[in-house]
Homo-oligomer: A and B are copies of this chain.
Amino acid sequence: MMAPAIEHRDHRAGHRRLPDRLDDPAVGSILHGIAAELFPICRSITGPGVRETLERLRRRIDLEIHEVPSGTAVFDWTVPREWTLRDAYVKNARGERVIDVRRNSLHVVSYSTPVQARLPLAELRRRIVTLPEQPGLIPYRTSYYAESWGFCMAHDRLLELPDGDYEVCIDATLADGSLTYGEYLHRGRSEDEILLTTHVCHPSLANDNCSGIALLSLLAERLQGVETRYSYRFLFAPGTIGAITWLARNEHRLERIRHGLVLSGVGDGGAPTYKRSRRGDAAIDRAMAHVLRHGSPSAAVIDFFPYGYDERQFCSPGFDLPVGSFQRSRFGTYPEYHTSADDLAFIRPEHLAHSYRLVTAALDVLESDATPVSLQPKCEPQLGRRGLYTAVGGDRDAPARCMAMLWVLNQADGRHSLLDIAERAGMPFAAIADTAAMLRDHGLVAFAGDGAA
């Protein structure tokens, strides 16, 4: 029902929607393809994995890459040393790799300090994290802010290891370097910005968060050449420290952010979840709730809580930005979460496409919302004389279109936006926006601030 596309429109009118370019049926496959490209890369909060990820995105969008030196103070935090992993394995007595990070980037605890040692199994086991209750899966673990090292593996595999000595190698450097993030700005008519951001620090986890990176990069790509009301700032940064670093470096520009979304986990088969901004009633909160109500009835809209992804930073009390968070299944609630089961089979093109359409529909609301003012406010205008009843004759959607006209005309007192009207009418925003535009073309409404009316 909802228009799944960024609108290409006069900002005062709120009705011209970009034709099918963004509503491509292939969108799901393309998104899955991007995620597949990014999946094998061994990302962490710093280092070559993030750089390689961002380089891949540069094939699509003119991403600006920022490098922030280790040791830079960012609010209460410090940019950490950079972690470079070259290899990590455990070899058995026969020299066979029984754990090999080249097979799955989850095998090494992220940010492990370098090690080269020979250990008996008993000692080795103390360095290995498994999931006894999901014995076939490799867990994902990090040790970002405490120096340590370790491996992750399937519990079943661990049980198969015979006694004996093992050669342990983590060929890594933890040294001064930099933290890397990528930024892309699509300029709209206004300098007011919509911030769209996702974390890029997780290794081979498809839903969390190759899916989010894919969605935002495709959206950024497809916005190129589209004229928009808002400017769109896309941020691809490592979780927590990346967002904090970006906020510290852009504090003077934050007032431009009028709306924002943190995206993650947008490819699984669960019902969509929108988590409101800390404010709870920001325009993005209303737009997302509206779009989900009409486009995904099983979706959940939940209140802000100070845990999750980088909305924690954007919604810290010193900023309190109007930034919500969109995901499908809630993080931490599905068994594949932070395990090797979060692989490319776990995310599906149709779910990715669905997420893409919901996000673009919400952006469409933000882009198109406007306040209509009736030019015939006293009694209803005579629609029949203008062919506005005839126009819809024989049309199965005619009653709904007629009601949309009556709603817009009745509510167009300059105090209700199109979204307000859509909410009161219980109709999709796009139906109301299209109707308002049609009524404007018939000279029956103008838009507040629309000099061209």
Residues of A within 8 A of B (CB): 74-77, 145-146, 240, 243-244, 247-248, 251, 278, 305-307, 312-313, 315-320, 374, 376-382, 384-385, 403, 406-407, 409-413, 425
Contact = CB atoms under 8 A, between A and B. Distances in A.
A77 B378 CA distance: 11
A256 B391 CA distance: 39
A317 B411 contact: yes
Given A145-B385, A278-B410, A247 B306 contact: no
A146 B306 contact: no
Contacts of A251: 378
B378 A318 contact: yes
Contacts of A146: 384
Given A278-B410, A306-B411, 12 more contacts: A76-B379, A77-B379, A77-B382, A145-B384, A146-B384, A244-B379, A306-B403, A307-B406, A312-B380, A313-B379, A317-B374, A318-B378
One complex includes copies of this chain to the number of: 3
Given A306-B406, A374-B318, A413-B320, A76 B312 contact: no
Nearest to A381: B76
Contacts of A320: 413
A308 B238 CA distance: 56
B377 A318 contact: yes
A410 B304 CA distance: 11
Nearest to A320: B413
Contacts of A244: 379-380
Nearest to A416: B317
A317 B380 CA distance: 9
Contacts of A315: 410
Contacts of A305: 403, 407, 425
28 contacts: A75-B379, A76-B376, A76-B380, A76-B381, A77-B379, A77-B382, A145-B385, A244-B379, A248-B378, A305-B407, A305-B425, A306-B406, A306-B409, A306-B410, A306-B411, A307-B406, A312-B380, A312-B406, A313-B380, A316-B377, A316-B379, A316-B409, A317-B374, A317-B409, A317-B412, A317-B413, A318-B379, A319-B378
A75 B305 CA distance: 52
* CB-CB nearest 8 A-B residue pairs: A318-B377, A318-B378, A306-B410, A317-B413, A306-B406, A76-B381, A317-B377, A244-B379
Which residue, A75, A319, A403, A412, has most C-beta atoms of chain B within 10 A? Answer: A75
B75 A317 contact: no
Contacts of A243: 379
A382 to B, nearest CB: 5
Contacts of A409: 306, 316-317
A240 B382 CA distance: 10
A247 B379 contact: yes
Nearest to A144: B384
Contacts of A411: 306, 317
Contacts of A316: 377-380, 409-410
A385 B409 CA distance: 59
Contacts of A312: 380, 406, 410
Nearest to A424: B303
A400 B406 CA distance: 47
Contacts of A407: 305-306
Contacts of A319: 378-379
A271 B318 CA distance: 43
